Amino acid sequence: MTEKTNTQPVVTIESLDQEGRGIAHHEGKVIFIEGALPGERVTYSSYRKKPNFEMAQVGDILKPSFMRVEPKCIHFGVCGGCSMQHLEPRAQVSAKQRILEDNLERIGKVKPDNILPPIYGLPWGYRQRARLSVRHVLKKGKTLVGFHEKRSSYVADMSLCEILPPKISKLIPLLSQLIDGLSIRERLPQIEVVCGDNVDVLVLRIMEPLTEKDEAALRAFADAYDIQFWLQTKGPETVHPFHPPVAPPLTYTLPEFGVEMPFAPTEFTQVNHRLNRVMVHRALRLLDPQSNERIADFFCGLGNFTLPIARSGAQVLGIEGSPALVKRGVQGAEHNGLSANTKFMAMNLFEMDEKALADLGTFDKWLVDPPRDGAVELVKAITPETAPKRIVYVSCNPATLARDAEILVHVKGYTLKAAGVMNMFPQTSHVESIAVFVKP
């Protein structure tokens, strides 16, 4: 339904897409409208036009949704970091659940027997990993520290970030002042934020050596605000601690399983530690590992699921593409006293085939936690001889989960027993989900 007011068309928003944009139709085109919610009547202005669709920004909201809320962050609409702050948090989760179900049905042609209750987390202050851009802007007369502006390579002029831990959020203007005073302010393009349970690390990407005055300023800042500075001079392998010279390591814990995970700033960990604990709990409940079973954890990383599974007494093989993460997994198993029933190996799972899978031996169950590309080669490699009786699949991309679900259900003979969303990234459109497949 559309009408016109002056020169701007008025449309009714039908649903949300995977990026949190409102979807409407006008004159035979699909219009994707940032900042609009389902049921609203809005005007819009297009910033990209194609023959079949347009990308637009919401204009006037003539009929607001009851789900609309006032964004908490003062930088919303400028900063490109969050896109759904105008939608009530529980409604965000409902929208993500619909996106998951739509992908499963439309792409995978499957429907779960059961919808799992969604997993919620803290709506604010949850993000314990982030990459902040740094740029000295002459026109503003200062150094900006923050995320990029929406649809732009410019760094947003930020004084806080509501999804970062409050301690780190408060440091943003102070970091701006600190870097402004460094001799290499033009040669420091990035700060990696990495928070553990008890340690906060800031990794500075520096492209020129620090002066003695620079080093003194960094040491004073780290001491004053109880953070660790690490430096990165080239690639990720060059990251090293700067100050304090002796400091506690980064760790996160999974108390339910008696697991403590040491990690380095450059190693992948979930950005939301609180929700990660709930996610691991749910995954293990669905997997139901038993002490007499052999279980594979594919795309295992540093062992976020591997070690909790091993705590059950099952024999667990964690398989990961990164040799560095495999090494960290072995260290984690030793650290937690789980080496006896835990093994790790490096393997390119994107090149899996039937023979390579058969060479690993048979497993009772799988846990699969791939990156956004999914696990298509892995699931295609399943044969009647290597098929586990249960697969728990953790996904950060509902489209590739749905694609892989189609293979598992319609080709490999599994039943999609259950699926649901986990709100790992509140205020954003990112959809994290979990699904369980069983052999009838």
Is residue 24 a contact partner of residue 48, using CB atoms and an 8 Å limit?
no
- Quick check: helix, strand or coil at residue 347? coil
Is residue 335 a contact partner of residue 262, using CB atoms and an 8 Å limit?
yes
Catalytic, out of 158, 250, 396, 401 = 396
Question: Cα–Cα distance between 375 and 275 in angstroms, integer?
Answer: 23
- Does residue 396 carry a catalytic annotation? yes
Q: Cα dist. 13→41, 64, 252 in Å?
A: 6, 10, 42
Q: Is 300 annotated as a binding residue?
A: no
Question: Cα–Cα distance between 61 and 336 in angstroms, integer?
Answer: 55
Q: Cα dist. 170→80, 146, 174, 220 in Å?
A: 19, 12, 8, 17
Q: Is 73 annotated as a binding residue?
A: yes
Question: Cα–Cα distance between 8 and 57 in angstroms, integer?
Answer: 12
β-pairing, 200-205 vs 228-232, is parallel
Q: Is 82 annotated as a binding residue?
A: yes
Q: Cα dist. 245→30, 241, 242 in Å?
A: 56, 7, 6
Q: Is 52 annotated as a binding residue?
A: no
Q: Is 341 annotated as a binding residue?
A: no
Q: Is 315 annotated as a binding residue?
A: no
Task: List 251's β-bridge partners, or say none.
Answer: 262
Q: Is 304 annotated as a binding residue?
A: yes
Q: Is 299 annotated as a binding residue?
A: yes
Q: Is 161 annotated as a binding residue?
A: yes
Binding residues: 73, 79, 82, 161, 270, 299, 304, 320, 348, 369
Binding residues for S-adenosyl-L-methionine: 270, 299, 304, 320, 348, 369
Catalytic residues: 396
Binding residues for [4Fe-4S] cluster: 73, 79, 82, 161
